[in-house]
Amino acid sequence: MKSSTPDVSLVEDLLSIGIALSAEKDHNRLLERILAGARKITNADAGTLYLCEKDRLLFKIMHNKTMNTFKGGRGEPIDIPPVKMVKENVSAFVALTGKTVNIPDVYNAEDFDFSGPRNYDKITGYRTRSMLVVPMENHESQKIGVLQLINAVDVGTDEIIPFDPAHQRVIEALASQAAIALTNAKLINDIEQLFDSFVQTITTAIDARTPYNANHSRRVALLAGELARAISQSNEGAWQGVEFSQEELEQLVMAGWLHDIGKVATPLEVMNKATRLDSRLELVLQRLEYIYQTSATDWHRKRFTLLEGGRTQSLEELDQRCGREMGEIDEARALIIKANDPSTFIDDQLAGQLFAIASRTYLDTAGREQPFLSREELDALTVKKGTLTDKERGVMEDHVIITARMLEKIPFIRKYSRVPEFSAMHHEHLDGKGYPNGLAGDSIPLEARILALVDVYDALTAGDRPYKKAMPVEDALRILGFMVKDGKLDSGLYELFKTSRVWERVEQ
């Protein structure tokens, strides 16, 4: 048997496990390392790591070298019910009292109920003998779990021996380090989850400001993530050797969630503008109705005057003139309704007709001369494509500048450090004609190119627009193809997006 003073190699083992624990962020791997480290130091044949959850102990990792079992963590799942917090159970006792228990042979021990290990032995032919059970207590004296080691093996004879008291002290130190590492990992995980859910809540709320695409941020995040995964999986041409690490993937998804956060400041009348005049159409139609009714009244008044004066020979000329005038008002109304529809392309001829309508005047109720259409109404109606005037487009495009400004103020954790940069570039195009900075070619990183592509795809295929049906995938791909040909979107990304059918992965 070894001496009761920890030797140098034990201290070295403890130190190296301690360093490994503080570097490990993956919860399951961390648990595995703790148990493996404790077994290595004590040369224990088997061991179990439990974590406290409310009033019970959960089996997290179970190793048994002789039985060749490796359960929990990344191994096969554990189907054993949790341990109740009763003092008869040795692990629960240690969790409740914070005291270590070291038993040379559990078959001779009377303080605890060992029917569990005995049953296990009966079924499997194993012999549970020595046992060391240590509490895992963190820096705030919280008991977060229990480390149970079974059957210390003598290095020289391979015999099962009691656990060495020197080993016990080392394992107690390890358990305390492990508890702190687990607490830290949980805190980091909690903070990340809190941040993620906060981002998702905020961006979903911002998306909900417009009925047009209520799932946009979520879908852009998912599509971007799937396209990046497709890149990592692809060995074709330019994608050979390009791989996103888990952290890079998470960073891209986060940039997807946040890319349009600046829309919080975009006025609703601009963001939700469904037609060229939008809410102003009603006012314009009422004005035309007023002009029409005034003309009709005027016509009847003039007719009455002619009849009264017996000048019936002038009636026909009056009827023709007034009839023509009212017909023109009807035509103007029809033309405005047509031009208001965003699916109408405003060519030069149509724009000329709208100018002519705008240049006509009428007298308002106060007798002042007014144009049929105001300058702003004419500007809105003569927008060639879409619904936004240059000014409104500028306001709309500002969202990406606001996104950049907002995200710059967030002290992102290291793995998200480039989120502001990627998010702020989602409207940059490879030909340098995007916004806000007109970046071109290689100055746009791959992540921003991914966002640019999936952003357009989602805007085209969104099914929740009240005035626009979801565009079929084939049509959206054709439009993306045009944008690639125009040198706006990345052709390699587009091909991969198509061949790996990224949208289907998201729908699944």
Choose one: 185-193, 441-449, 452-460, 474-482; the region binding Fe ion (CB under 5 A): 452-460
Q: How far is the CB of 81 from Fe ion (least distance, A)?
A: 48
Nearer to Fe ion, 45 or 260 (CB): 260
Q: Which is nearer to Fe ion, 200 or 294 (CB)?
A: 200
Cβ proximity to Fe ion, 106 vs 450, nearer residue: 450
Q: CB of 261: closest distance to Fe ion in angstroms?
A: 10
Beta-strand ranges (E) seen in 73-138 are 83-84, 101-103, 131-137
| DSSP, res 366 | T
Of the pair 281, 401, the CB lying nearest Fe ion is at 401
Find all residues with CB under 8 Å of 13, minimum gap 6, and list them: 37, 40, 41, 170
Closest CA to 2 of 152, 151, 115: 152
Which CB, 45 or 428, lies closer to Fe ion? 428
Residue 137 in the binding site for Fe ion (CB under 5 A) = no
Write down the least CB distance from residue 150 to Fe ion, Å.
57
Give the three-state DSSP class for 133.
strand
CA within 13 Å, CB half, 454: 32
Which one-letter DSSP state was computed for residue 341? S
Q: What share of the chain is helix, strand, coil (3-state, %, to 5)?
A: 55, 10, 30
Using an 8 Å Cβ cutoff, are 142 and 95 in contact? no
As a whole number of angstroms, the distance between CA 100 and CA 135 comes to 6
CB nearer Fe ion, residue 130 or residue 213: 213
Pairing of strands 56-64, 44-53: antiparallel
To the nearest whole angstrom, how small is the minimum distance from the Cβ of residue 497 to Fe ion? 16
Q: Which is nearer to Fe ion, 137 or 455 (CB)?
A: 455
Q: Is 455 in the site for Fe ion (CB under 5 A)?
A: yes
Q: Which stretch binds Fe ion (CB under 5 A): 53-61, 92-100, 329-337, 453-461?
A: 453-461
Q: Which of 260, 377, 428, 490 binds Fe ion (CB under 5 A)?
A: 260
With contact defined as beta carbons under 8 Å apart, do 295 and 325 qualify?
Answer: yes
Kindly state the smallest distance separating residue 265's Cβ from Fe ion, in Å: 13
Q: How far is the CB of 263 from Fe ion (least distance, A)?
A: 7
Alpha helix segments (H runs only) across 74-164: 90-97, 115-124
Q: Which two tokens stand for residue 187?
A: 């805190």
Q: Supply the minimum distance, in Å, between the C-beta of residue 252 and Fe ion.
A: 14
Beta strand pairing call for 160-161 and 143-153? antiparallel
Instruction: Give CA torsion, residues 378, 379, 380, 385, to 10 deg.
Output: 120
Identify which range of 102-110, 176-184, 224-232, 259-267 contacts Fe ion by CB under 5 A. Answer: 259-267
The amino acid at 169: R
The CB-of-399 to Fe ion minimum distance in angstroms stands at 6
* Rg of the chain over all Cα atoms, to the nearest angstrom: 38
Q: How far is the CB of 231 from Fe ion (least distance, A)?
A: 20
Per CB under 5 A, 207 contacts Fe ion: no
Taking CB under 5 A as the binding criterion, the range among 107-115, 254-262, 348-356, 370-378 that sits at the site for Fe ion is 254-262
* 455 vs 490, beta carbon nearer Fe ion: 455
Angle, CA 137 vertex, CA 131 and CA 138 arms, to 5° = 150
Three-state secondary structure readout of 308-332: HCCCHHHHHHHHHHHHHHHHHHHHH
Q: Which stretch binds Fe ion (CB under 5 A): 81-89, 302-310, 448-456, 474-482?
A: 448-456
* Nearest to Fe ion of 396, 446 (CB atom): 396
Supply the minimum distance, in Å, between the C-beta of residue 260 and Fe ion.
Answer: 4
Tokens linked to 376: 């702003």
DSSP 158-183: --EEPPPHHHHHHHHHHHHHHHHHHH
SS3 146: strand
Instruction: Closer to Fe ion by CB, 98 or 386: give it.
Output: 386
Range in contact with Fe ion (rule: CB under 5 A) among 88-96, 256-264, 406-414, 477-485? 256-264
Smallest gap from Cβ 385 to Fe ion, in A, equals 18
State the minimum distance, in angstroms, from the CB of residue 436 to Fe ion. Answer: 11
Quick one: tokens of 367? 């007798």
- Please, which of residues 55-74 interact with Fe ion by CB under 5 A? none
Q: Cβ closer to Fe ion: 116 or 436?
A: 436
What's the first-to-final CA gap in the chain, in angstroms?
59
Stretch that binds Fe ion, among 40-48, 188-196, 450-458, 461-469 (CB under 5 A): 450-458
Residue closer to Fe ion, measured from CB, 160 or 480? 480
The piece of 138-146, 231-239, 252-260, 370-378 that touches Fe ion (CB under 5 A) is 252-260
**How many residues at the interface with Fe ion, by CB under 5 A?**
2
Residues that bind Fe ion (CB under 5 A): 260, 455
